[in-house]
Each structure stands twice: as structure tokens, then as C-alpha cells.
Chain A
């Protein structure tokens, strides 16, 4: 390729110059003078084709959404399509032409996640409130339909007659048949072959395949054993054998209440998403309801959580800060050392240094966990010649160990960024300083470090934010241990906020699950880290402007 040539005589689509950057002056009228937006240049054609493809796909998705009655997706898709076409055919909104692709993905896949978590934070989603009310009612009815203790096993066949599906059961040697509305009655002319009911007059015996096609109907079918309600109903789970069941709980849809048929107790839905009787007792399965700020009140009002919270917060901040600082300085140091053109094999050396980065991080954490074992780990037995350092269960050593692993895992990234930043420091600046008599240290302190810092500041901030929520490193190396001896929830001295959320909200199986509380705490964490980041981001930008 020759040097980047500007296509001089190919006026094409696009907006007038003044759109590109508001402050640009319209110095020269466009050459060729034509209204280039409508010129059929290659670029314009490419755009047309691509947009056609996008539109086709978009319309396809929208149609599919319509067919599936997924109106949320339908409207989002239609909106995206309209916006896309407007953006790419309008002469306005030039910046949007460049944002839209990434923005669309961001909105669908990230903003939605944040928003949904925000919604969950205001509900009581968790154990006992795991699903919708309809599911809860179903589950309660299923759980409280009990097999009669003296019920025999009735081999059965599923049949279909004028009254819909029914069962033909083998009661002793007799075949009896019935449907949901007609209790079992004798069917003397039925044919039984080897214990299987093959023919029932007036009914069609369904084949296995037919039964499987109508599984939900079959499992929902209850055929009364006799006219007496106490005798129970036949039901089946596998369409081979039936048993007598009686339900102890009845749902009254109109009144929205559950009634216990044995005691007569009436349960009404309460505000917490459970059925509650007058005496305050509740049925086991509840459903999800909005609870307002309850989760936030629990997070800060319940001393079990609020007491360790600040201790953990301090370590979280320290951990995130030190993680960035240590990896940065180690990375920068190696970058400076190797930043000399006279060094041979520089490429090879650099490639070796990024090895830790090439390993999936979770692997490294597991590996280090083993290497840090007090009595058998590589670190104590080989590196430190048989030292007896309790890396994982001493509060201070565990913190040091975590940071040590973090440095190993994280320095190559910093090494990469710093190498880049160093390369971009203008040579003449360094030369000028040297001529002014600046020593190596001086040069480093007054020129190299500030310039590298400024260049990498946004990355350092986002690295801070990442480590603030670095769940994996803590969970895979120490799981937050050693535990605070005085805390009343299982929280330990290496726990950071996000791992604390993980354990107190029961997501690790150590307590009853509480997604609502976990979401609320996630939001709190998000607010903290976002605030810190935005402030430091603003400050570095002012620093940048001063420079």
C-alpha cells in the first residue's frame, strides 16, 4: 500500500463538514459541488447493502417476536430498527452513526442486567419466595395432595370417551372406568390381556404415544373413586399405575384463599407473598412480591450485616487500591527495565513476562491456593525452605498472600499498558531534560512517572473498580477466611464486599437464599465504587488538563 491516500475525487455521502466537529470551519466548499449524499458511490452502496441486511434481520426478529407474542422484544426491535434507519439515512446525528452498534449491545445486554438487578433489590425474591403466585399455588396443591394410607395400587390405562379423558383401572380382577366427572363404574365387558387393559367398551384406550402427547392432561386428571368425596380420587404419574389421593388443601380462585379441608383453616394471601391464616401461621411455599426498601433496611439496620460491613469495606478499598498500585509499579518497573532498544531478545523476554496473563485467571488462583498450603505448599516447603507461615489462615498473612497472587496475575496487564505509555513519551522531551542536567531519578520522577500516570489513569481507575468486585480471587483462594472471631455472620478478614454479599445472602448455600438482599447490597456496592471512580476520574481529568 502507498501512503494513506485521501480519495480526492470521490465525493460521496455524508453530512456537511460543519456536522463533523462543531468548531470546524467550513473553509472550502465541497469539491464537485454535488449533493453527495445521494451519489451512488461504493461507500454508499455498501451502506445500503448492509442496512438492507440489518433491516431484514431486524424485521425477521420482529416478526418472530410477534408470532411468539413477545411484545417486549418486538418493541425493542422495532425501536432499534427505526433508530438505525434514521441514524444512517439522516444527515444529522453523525456521532450516533459511530455509537449505535456498540450502544445497542450495551443497552440490551448490560443496561438490562443492571436494571433487572435493581428491580430484584425491591422484591423478596429468595428461598420461599422463588416464583410467581400461580406456581406457588400449584406447588402447594401438589404437595398437599396425599396418597391415602390404605390405597392399593391400581394398574390402569388411559382412555378417552365422550366425557373426555378417563382412567380404566384394574380393581382386583374387575375393570372399572371413569372420568373426571363420572366416578369409577364397573366395565364388565372390558378386555384384559396379561394384566393390561386393552379394550373398554364405549372408550378408546390410548396408546403410549398418545398418552405422552397429552402428558399434562393425564397427570392433571383426577377420577373420583366413588360418589363419596372421602374415598379420594385416582391419579397417576406414570400412566401405568394409579393410586388414591385426597387433597388436604383447596384453592378458591374467586376468593383467592386456601382452605385446609381437615381443619377448616382459611389462609389468605398477605403482603409478604405467603398464604397466612388468622392465627399468623403461613403455608410453606410463597411467591415473589415487591417489598419496597425492606432489603436496604435489612442491609443497614440489621446489626449482623452492618457491623462487619465497615470492616469489610475498609479492606475492600485497601485491597483494590493496593492491587492497582502494586501491579502497576511492578508492571511499570519491568516495562522501564525492558524499554531500551539495545536489549537483545526483547520480544522473547516480553513474551515470557506475559505468561501469567495467558493463563485463565481462575486457574492461577486455584494453583496458588495449593502452592500456599501451610504444610505442603510449594511456597513454604521449597521457596522458603520449610518455613511455617500460615498463609491462608492468619489474618495478615492471608491478606498479603492475596495481594501477592494478585501481583503475579495482574502485573502483565500493567506491564503491557506501561510499555505502550513509555513508548509514547516523546523522545525530545527526555533529551531536553537530559540536556538540562536531569539525573536518572529526576528524569523518572518528573517526566516518566507523571506522563505514564496520566496516560494510564482511566485504565487504573477501571482496574480499581474491577478489583473492588474481584469475586474470583477471594473466593478461589481463601473464601474470605480466616473468619472474624467476633462477627455473627460468616464473614472473614479477607472478605471483600462482593464475597460478603455472596455468603450473607445464602448464594453459597450457607444460609437461606435471598436474591433480594443480595441485589440490594450489589446496588450499594455499585453506588460506592461508581462514586469513588467518578470522583477520581474527574480529578485525573483536571490533572490531565493542567498538564
Chain B
């Protein structure tokens, strides 16, 4: 036994070591080289998708393949990785022809010249205005939108019959329900300014000022009296035990699913976990007196600026992904309301989706200007710090505004 190992090693390895000598291919193992997309006559497309959209895009791709003879290869990626990988790979001539993405990446994508404009033509009118606007930069449209998403109050109808219009009333009603939590919202250790945003806007402190046509300027607007009031309010809610940094997404969703709270502030992506509950979607109550406006996020497809298959890619997007059928398929895969108006109308028959769409009408598009990149991390950690008590509300908020301004000036 003792010698069997060296024996095996020598036997197996004799070939291996010396072959490896030249620094070339030592293992006879067959390689799984990328199936280079040199496919059939119809051409070939590579599309990056994430898990929640995979099935839906697959269906559209199958139609496309059948009709045009083209070959579509779907590459499954983490949604979080797509942005950086796309930016890194496109300049090398690699990267997909098409990728899914969010509209708020647009500033960075165009600044780096990695996305090609898509001419929607008359199709533009078929989409919700906010969706096309979100993908418009400097007068050009850079993405084919497929879904619009925003958060709202998800209510467990068994525990509460309505959502009051103000925060304090809602919390009171939540407490009256006698559940473990009056209200659930994820905060996490690094904060979640996206989810908190409607509460912040209800104090009249949007992140950037908007020009008259609705586009964002690079002037920060989250500071000042209104911002400080929001910061103070955060602290008060944390002291009252309503907000806590230990409430992560996982825990909040699980608690709501277990019936431990009548309300949760969240988006359509949570619905899958609440399949057993009877739900209603309500507008977000105001905490600061003004309307609580959440961010609207638009998801869409970008085309690689260096793609050699522009014709095929544009064809696939405008003629196969912009159909009611395809948009509804994506909706069914992820519950996000479609961007195509006709599809949105169809799915509005579902009261839940209609509820999200209704809240979305008052929502603000998430800024896609490049300056937005400098905001997120400061914003999140400051909110989390105030909630956990490690940061003084007003002073901390003011410092955050200064730091964000400095970061914007520096970049």
C-alpha cells in the first residue's frame, strides 16, 4: 500500500510531467473550446442573460432561429457581473452581441462607447414613454426596454384591510395587527437607499434635481433641511424599532411569507416567495408629508457597439423581443411589468401587476447620469450608519452630501 501511491504517480505522471515540460498542452484531455459562433447560414448571435430571464429569451430565440435560420447562443451570467464584464470585454472584440441590462448603466455604457444605438423607429410609440426615455441618452435610444419595475407596499390581506396614506398611521395599523413586525423593509448592513427612496422623497429630498423636461441635472438635491429631516426621521424610526440593519432581504421576505407582518416594502421580484398569501398592492404611505415616489427601473437589452452582427442583433430585438408575446414571457418569468404598452395592458388584468403599475405612474426614473455612480455607496452606508446608531443623523447626512459632491467633482 505504501508504495502504491508513488507507483501510480509515476505511471500516470511519467507522460504528464515531461510533456508538460514545454509549457504546452500536456493533458490529452479533450478541450471544451468555446463553440465559436460560426454557425449556419443565418448567422449567429451571442446573448448574455441572467437566470430570471433565461427561459423567456430562450423562447424568443427559438422563434427567431426557426424563422431566420440564425443561431442564438445564450450565455448565463450573474446579473451583477454583466456590467463590469461587458465593459471589460467589448473593447477586446469579445463580449456578446446583445446583453440584458438596467437603464441606469447607460451613462457608463455610453461614456465608454460600448453600446450601439438602436433605432426603434415607429416601434418607440409602442413602449411606455418612461421606458424609452430611460434608455435615451443625448437624443439616441440605446436599449430595447422590456420591463419596468418599481417598489410598492405589498399587503397581506389577511392581516390588514388597507394601507393608510401616512407612515405613522400605517405603523399604528401594523402594530394593531398584533404580528411580530408592524412593517418590513430590508436595510442590511450597507444600507439600501433604493428601497428607502420613496420615504426620502416624501420629505422632498430627491437625489438629483430635475430639469423642466424631467431629465436629471448633476445638482445634488438630497441635502439641506429636507434631507436632514429625513435623516432625523430615520434615526427616530430605528429607535422605535421599525428599522434595523439586521433586517436583510432574506429575512424580510421570509418573515412576510410566514405571516409575521401585514406590510412589506418591496418589488414584484418578491412575489414568487409569497405564492401562498393573499396579497394587495398599495401606494407607499408618506412619511414626510409629500408624495412617496419610488424609483422606476427599466430593464432592457443593449447591443454591443463592436458587434459584427448588428443587423442580426437589431433584427432580433426589434422584431422578436419587442413583441407582445416575448414581453409577456419575460413578465411571466420574473413578474416585472412589461415595457411594451400592449403587453402591459394584457397583464394588467392581474390586480397585483396593475397595483405595481399604478404605483409606478408616480415613480421617478432612476437617474442614469454618470454622476449617479458616485452616490450609491455613500448614501447606503450613511443610512445604515444612522439606523444602527453609529452615525449622528444630521451631521452624518451633511457629511455624506459633502463627500458625494467631492466624489463627483473628482471624477
Contacts and interface: CB of A to CB of B under 8 A. Distances in A.
Contacts of A392: 189, 245-246
Contacts of A104: 21-23
B25 to A, nearest CB: 5
A510 B87 contact: no
A376 interface: yes
B104 to A, nearest CB: 10
A512 B19 contact: no
A143 B42 contact: no
Contacts of A511: 373-374, 377, 407, 411
A243 interface: yes
B381 A54 contact: no
A321 interface: no
Given A132-B91, A511-B411, A373 B138 contact: no
A19 interface: no
A54 B18 CA distance: 8
A215 B311 contact: yes
B280 interface: no
Contacts of A55: 22
Contacts of A84: 21-23
Interface stretch (A5-13, A133-141, A331-339, A465-473): A133-141
Contacts of B21: 50-51, 54, 84, 88, 100-101, 104
Interface string B17-56: 1111111110000000000000001110000000000000
Given A209-B42, A304-B406, A509 B373 contact: yes
Contact of B391 (A51, A131, A485): A485
A1 B19 CA distance: 27
Nearest to B376: A510
Count chain A CB atoms within 10 A of each CB in B24, B84, B116, B385 and give the residue with the most. Answer: B24
B259 interface: no
Nearest to A2: B3
Given A84-B21, A238-B315, A488-B403, A285 B310 contact: no
Nearest to A235: B119
B384 interface: yes
B121 A130 contact: no
A20 B243 CA distance: 72
A108 B311 contact: no
A464 to B, nearest CB: 28
A363 B391 CA distance: 31
Interface in A242-276: 243
A479 B189 contact: yes
B154 interface: no
Contact of A58 (B22, B42, B116, B245): B22
B122 interface: yes
B305 A138 contact: yes
Contacts of A478: 189
A146 B119 CA distance: 10
A370 interface: yes
Contacts of B399: 485
Contacts of A483: 381, 385
Interface stretch (B106-114, B169-177, B294-302): B106-114
A146 B140 contact: yes
B158 interface: no
A143 B22 contact: no
A150 to B, nearest CB: 13
Interface in A177-221: 208-209, 211-213, 215-216, 218-219
Contact of B305 (A1, A50, A139, A479): A139
A481 interface: yes
A108 B20 CA distance: 13
Contacts of A70: none
B22 A373 contact: no
Given A237-B311, A241-B121, A57 B24 contact: yes
B319 interface: yes
A513 interface: yes
Nearest to A108: B23
A239 interface: yes
Interface in B362-406: 370, 373-374, 376-378, 381, 384-385, 388, 390-392, 396, 399, 402-403, 406
B113 A135 contact: yes
Interface string A415-454: 0000000000000000000000000000000000000000
Nearest to A128: B111
Interface residues of A, number: 87
A375 B246 contact: yes
B68 interface: yes
Contacts of B306: 135, 138
B139 interface: yes
Given A47-B18, A84-B22, A509 B312 contact: no
Interface string B333-347: 000000000000000
Interface string B85-111: 001001100000000000000001011
B118 interface: yes
Contact of A240 (B69, B305, B319): B319
A50 B18 contact: yes
Contact of B113 (A58, A211, A285, A390): A285
A294 interface: no
A512 B113 contact: no
Interface string A275-292: 000000000110000000
Contact of B246 (A135, A284, A373): A373
Contact of B251 (A81, A143, A236, A373): A373
B75 interface: no
A400 to B, nearest CB: 15
Interface in A101-130: 101, 104-105, 107-108, 127-128, 130
Nearest to A209: B41
A503 interface: yes
B248 A373 contact: yes
A492 interface: yes
A50 B17 CA distance: 9
Nearest to B388: A393
Interface in A1-53: 1, 46-47, 50-51, 53
Contact of A153 (B122, B310, B376): B122
Contacts of A211: 311
Count chain B CB atoms within 10 A of each CB in A55, A375, A483, A489 and give the residue with the most. Answer: A483
B315 A390 contact: no
B381 A490 contact: yes
A147 interface: yes
A61 interface: yes
A374 interface: yes
B406 to A, nearest CB: 6
Contacts of A136: 113
B63 interface: no
A444 to B, nearest CB: 31
B310 A143 contact: no
A54 B190 contact: no
A479 B384 CA distance: 13
Interface string B233-274: 000000000001111101100000000000000000000000
B316 to A, nearest CB: 9
B309 interface: yes
A284 to B, nearest CB: 6
Interface of B: 3, 7, 14-15, 17-25, 41-43, 68-70, 83-84, 87, 90-91, 108, 110-114, 116-119, 121-122, 138-140, 189-190, 244-248, 250-251, 305-306, 308-312, 314-315, 318-319, 370, 373-374, 376-378, 381, 384-385, 388, 390-392, 396, 399, 402-403, 406-407, 410-411
Given A80-B22, A143-B140, 19 more contacts: A54-B24, A84-B22, A104-B22, A108-B23, A131-B112, A138-B306, A139-B112, A142-B117, A208-B68, A212-B311, A215-B43, A238-B311, A240-B315, A302-B410, A377-B246, A481-B381, A485-B391, A510-B373, A513-B84
7 contacts: A54-B22, A127-B87, A127-B112, A209-B41, A241-B119, A374-B245, A377-B246
Top 5 A-B residue pairs of the complex, sorted by shortest distance between their CB atoms: A139-B113, A104-B23, A131-B91, A510-B377, A54-B22
